[in-house]
Structure 1
Amino acid sequence: MHDLDPHLLRAFLAVVDIGTVNGAAAALHRTQAAVSMQIRRLEEIVGAPLFARSSKGLTLNAEGRVLEPYAREILTLGDEARKRVSGQHMEGRVKLGVVEDFAATRLVEILKSFRDQNPKVQLDLIIAGNRQLAALFEQDKLDMLICDSLEVPHTPLVEWPEQLQWVARSDFSLPLSEALPVVMFDGGCPWRNRVLEALAAHGLHWHMVCEASTLVAMATAVQVGIGVGPMLAATIPPGCHALIPSAHIPEPVAIGIGLYSRANVSDEAHYLADFMTRMPGRLAV
């Protein structure tokens, strides 16, 4: 058994990111022969070729795609351990845009851990709706973004599925013979149309009893018993619960959430992105 040498992994990722051995060699300030030898050595250690070779350069094969996220995590963790042990800390400022539903829930522990390890990195948190954040990201006013993946015309660093569950106060009684009272997102929220489609597909007789422009508004309306509202599981307020789908309640509404980072961001923003993508399950349910 042989350990995965970080020097070999660094050469591997340089080829992955640049696409050619020549380009990777230049970026690493090594000769082409040296980088080629490192790639061959890594392939010997893992027991499989890692690239498909063509006239256009190198692309990852199936085995290479398996190795890539592990290689990135190993190198990132190594850098992190070195900085922690030596007392080095990054400095700078990161502008992170987040939809309200995540800023107040699962993101808290992740940013707390990052902040504890990097106390000199200043985090500017911009909390807004999906469309507002997507527009700010397109205008290069955000370094990173967490929002609905359908609102951003770029490939996310990581994407995970979510569900908007139908939530009501624990003692709420469904009006089986009357229209279902629904707390609805306002017109500026992209989730509104998906909720409307779910209600229509289920053939329900319903009426809007409240229009909520923020998570606080949605949670408050549901919590006081005004009606039934679509919410992520992590945002269900105390005294409320998700309703089981039935003839009177539609299935949860599927949405996708993506984590995005601008190209050529600062080292601290790049590090925060790596910090989040190493453990995407910490963001997902």
Structure 2
Amino acid sequence: MQDLDPHLLRAFLSVIDVGTVNGAAAALHRTQAAVSMQIRRLEDIAGAPLFERSPKGLTANAEGRILEPYAREILTLNEEACQRISGQHMEGRVKLGVVEDFAATRLIDILKSFRDQNPKVHLDLIIAGNRQLAALFEQDKLDLLICDTQEVAHQPLVEWPEQLLWVVRSDLTLLPDEALPVVLFTDACPWRTRVMESLADSQLHWNMVCEASTLVAMATAVQVGIGIGPMISATIPPGCRVLPSTPESPTSIQIGIGLYARPGASEEANYLADFMTRMPGRLAV
């Protein structure tokens, strides 16, 4: 097996993260033909196809899934080695807007690693709801943004699916002949509409027993047993469980999350965006 070229690995990971060659080409600022050629070259080196192709795009096959964590580690080590050898660190300030669901979970380890490697880059973290963040981004008040794709008119650098799962306190028993006690986010949250539409489609009998204005409020309401609430997997609090999919329980709700960069964003902002997408344990799981 020949050496794995970091340029080929970067194209490979970009296709995995975005799901299409076109999207990867845009993220890498290259042509579609160039990225396709890189993927074919990497598959030649690996001696096997790395993707399953369908009309919807590309997904890593068994061989691709084996290569993926190694590719991410290789690129991370390559970046660290270049920085340490040169002794140069980026300087500047990055304003990152992010919904609470990710700021409180997956983002912590990623930003810790970034901060350790780039101590001279100052991070301003703006935690708010999807619509508030989208408005700030449109006003060029954020360099980077992580939020619901339906709230932003721009093309994301990376987009990934999440599911709002129905979560309940582990020891709470829901009686089939009683209305489901449901905790909802307030009207300011765009997920509320999608959750209510899903509940309506399920034709289940339910009552809203509590409104939660923040993720902390939602987690608290569920933990104390007020009712069931919609949450992504990363934010499920201790002592709680996901309701199994049955005719007596509502179905999960699909949402899309995107990472966005302001047009003309600084070098350090673009570097942080790239760092967040290639780190092990990254935002998209």
Supply the distance in 1 between the matched residues of 2:8 and 2:214 (Cα, whole angstroms): 49
Note the alpha carbon deviations across 1:17-63, whole angstroms, 9 max, x for none.
376xxxxxxxxxxxxxxxxxxxxxx9997799xxxxxxxxxxxxx9x
Q: How does 1:249-264 map to 2 (within 5 A)?
A: 249-264=249-264
Deviates more, 1:90-99 or 1:74-83: 74-83
Greater shift in the superposed pair: 82-91 or 177-186: 82-91
Whole-angstrom CA distance in 1 between matches of 2:106 and 2:116:
16
Deviation at 1:119, TM superposition (A): 0.7
1:138-166 CA-to-partner distances (Å, cap 9, x unmatched) read 00000000001111111111111111110
Give the structure with higher Rg (CA). Answer: 1
Do residues 215 (structure 1) and 215 (structure 2) align? yes
Paired amino acid for 2:168? A
SS at match of 1:167: strand
Q: After superposition, where does 1:1-285 map in structure 2 within 5 Å?
A: 17=29, 78-279=78-279, 282-285=282-285
| Cα distance in 2 for residues equivalent to 1:152 and 1:45 | 35
Cα deviation per residue 1:217-240 (whole Å; 9 max; x = unaligned)? 000000000000001111111111
Is the CA contact (8 Å cut-off) linking 2:90 and 2:118 kept in structure 1? yes
Q: Distance in 2 between matches of 1:18 and 1:160?
A: 21
Asked whether the 8 Å contact 1:4–1:45 carries over to 2, the reply is: no
Structure 2 equivalent of residue 30 of structure 1: none
Amino acid at match of 2:171: D
Aligned residues: 244
Query: Which whole-Å CA distance do the structure 1 matches of 2:133 and 2:209 have between them?
Result: 27
Q: TM-score, normalised by structure 1?
A: 0.75
Deviation at 1:75, TM superposition (A): 8.1
User: Does structure 1 retain, via aligned residues, the 8 Å contact 2:76–2:279?
Assistant: no
SS at match of 1:217: helix
CA distance in 2, matches of 1:47, 1:242: 39
Shift of 1:72: 12
Q: Which amino acid aligns with 1:257?
A: I
Distance 1:116 1:204 in 2: 49
3-state DSSP of counterpart to 1:282: coil
Q: Letter of the aligned partner of 1:17 in structure 2?
A: H
Change (3 A) 1:123 1:199: same
Query: Structure 1: which 5+ residue stretches go unaligned?
Result: 20-41, 49-61
Q: What SS class does the counterpart of residue 29 from structure 2 fall into?
A: helix
How far apart, in 2, do the equivalents of 1:47 and 1:209 lie?
A: 54
**SS of equivalent to 1:273:** helix
The structure-2 alpha-carbon separation of the partners of 1:211 and 1:78, relative to structure 1 and needing over 3 Å to count, comes to same
Q: 1:273 to 1:243 in 2, by over 3 A?
A: same
- Aligned-pair identity in percent equals 72
Pair 1:165–1:80, CA change in 2 (3 A):
same
Q: Is the contact made by 1:179 and 1:207 (CA closer than 8 Å) also made in structure 2?
A: yes
Structure 1 consecutive aligned stretches of length 4 or more whose deviation exceeds 6 Å: 4-9, 42-48, 71-77
Q: Structure 1's 247 and 90: CA in aligned 2 closer, same or farther, altered over 3 A?
A: same
TM-score, reference length from structure 2: 0.75
Deviation at 1:118, TM superposition (A): 0.4
Secondary structure of the residue aligned to 1:113 is: helix
Query: Structure 1 residue 277: deviation in Å?
Result: 2.1
Report the alpha carbon displacement of residue 265 of structure 1 after superposing the two structures with TM.
Answer: 1.0
Counterpart of 2:136 in structure 1: which amino acid?
Answer: L
Q: Is the 8 A contact 2:148 2:257 kept in 1?
A: yes
Q: SS at the partner of 1:95?
A: strand
- State the 1:5 CA deviation: 7.3
8 Å CA contact 1:84–1:117 kept in 2: the answer is no
User: What is the alpha-carbon root mean square deviation over aligned residues?
Assistant: 3.4
Give the conservation status (yes or no) of the 8 Å contact 2:106–2:281: no
The amino acid across from 2:256 in the alignment is G
